[in-house]
Amino acid sequence: MPVTQPLETPIAYDRIRAVEWQDGHIRLIDQRLLPGKLEHLTLQTLTEAVRAIRDMAVRGAPAIGITAAYAVVLAAHARYTENPANWQAALEPDLRMLAEARPTAVNLRWAVERMRAFCTTLSGDPLPALLAEAQRIHSEDIAANHRMGELGAALIEPGSGVLTHCNTGALATGGYGTALGVVRAAYAAQHLNAVYADETRPWLQGARLTAWELLQEGIPVTLLADSAAALLLKQGRVQWVIVGADRIAANGDVANKIGTYSAAIAARYHGVKFMVVAPTSTVDMATRDGTAIPIEQRTASEVLMAGGTRIAPDGAHAWNPAFDVTPAGLIDAIVTERGVVLQPTGEKMAALMRP
């Protein structure tokens, strides 16, 4: 299944784009269909974008934020066409609906707030200026990922094995990826002798998406059941566990895909280093610590079924938190585009985020 997107930068292993603006609409890879089918969705309205985010046709904190920024362009254009004198006020309910499409990934709210603030500076047809702002959000994310790739790869000794969880790659971001950007950069620098990926039950982001995008780029990957990770770490095959984040609180606690916390506990127990890679758009200094991060609960059917087939008996209930929180104390490094925070604390996060 070839990747059709053009090579946009000279950076190695950077060919996949999950979100694009094309001919006045948003074009998304429909991530629900991967790896079986590579199909694109065309979104013409903000309501369609909200549905795509809720249903996880597009997912991953930065990719959700970028989709939201483009959705604001579509909605602002529609509201301006309806009534040029009142488009900013008419846009407000759209922005609220968009910001609430998923609760945990703070990049969504961050992108909506940045676009809302930009709207207040505009007069006349907002489309060209808003589109330029959304494209800036998109290209800044890619640049941040390239920078984090360099910074994170520099922490990895040649000859290392790494374990990653969920999908944090090009599919989850503007391009290249956060944790998977570090994997890409470390592989390009020939620092890696093995890349392991948790399958990431229940939605299988690791098995379906991480394995797909690494293989598209020619990077070998070995999948394992999430429950096999502790044994992998015990056997010394991995020197770093590398994950992304959906929200980083002011004290350095990290919300990420369910299973990240177990991986961090297992890493600490076995003396394996634990790295979180996320742009500063994922850092929420207004959230004091991990206990204040809202955790999305998703439908029971994601747990009760696999690949469209019911795997649990009728009558079984399911608990399906989509994210968990890893305390700052279990994290060795938070890598952002502004720099690396080793052994994160509130003071170090505040220094990183200081303008």
- Interaction of residue 326 with ligand MRU, rule CB under 6 A: no
- Interaction of residue 208 with ligand MRU, rule CB under 6 A: no
- Interaction of residue 290 with ligand MRU, rule CB under 6 A: no
Q: Alpha helix (H) ranges present in 83-154?
A: 87-99, 106-119, 127-153
Choose which of 67, 160, 178, 216 interacts with ligand MRU (CB under 6 A): 178
- Interaction of residue 111 with ligand MRU, rule CB under 6 A: no
Q: Which residues contact 118 (CB under 8 A, 6 or more apart)?
A: 129, 130, 133
Choose which of 29, 49, 69, 166 interacts with ligand MRU (CB under 6 A): 166
Choose which of 71, 163, 175, 205 interacts with ligand MRU (CB under 6 A): 205
Closest listed residue to residue 80, CA positions, set 68, 70, 89: 89
3-state secondary structure at position 43: strand
- Interaction of residue 172 with ligand MRU, rule CB under 6 A: yes
Which residue out of 94, 141, 246, 324 is catalytically annotated?
246
- With 0-12 / 13-18 / 19 or more C-beta atoms within 10 angstroms meaning exposed / middle / buried, residue 218 is exposed
Stretch that binds ligand MRU, among 111-119, 188-196, 238-246, 325-333 (CB under 6 A): 238-246
Q: Which is nearer to ligand MRU, 76 or 172 (CB)?
A: 172
Smallest separation, CB 59 to ligand MRU (Å): 3
- Interaction of residue 152 with ligand MRU, rule CB under 6 A: no
Smallest separation, CB 224 to ligand MRU (Å): 17
Residues in the chain: 355
Smallest separation, CB 157 to ligand MRU (Å): 24
Q: How far apart are CA 97 and CA 242, in angstroms?
A: 33
Task: Using DSSP bridges, classify how beta strands 333-336 and 273-277 pair: parallel, antiparallel or unpaired.
Answer: parallel
Q: How far apart are CA 320 and CA 247, in angstroms?
A: 19
- Interaction of residue 256 with ligand MRU, rule CB under 6 A: yes
- Interaction of residue 141 with ligand MRU, rule CB under 6 A: no
Q: Are 43 and 66 in contact (CB under 8 A)?
A: no
Q: Phi then psi for 193, rounded to 5 degrees? A: -105, -10
**Active site annotation includes 141:** no
Choose which of 19, 49, 52, 61 interacts with ligand MRU (CB under 6 A): 61
Beta bridge partners of 26: 21, 43
> Which residues are annotated as catalytic?
246
For binding to ligand MRU (CB under 6 A), which residues are involved?
59-62, 105, 166, 168, 172-173, 178, 205, 244-246, 256-257, 322
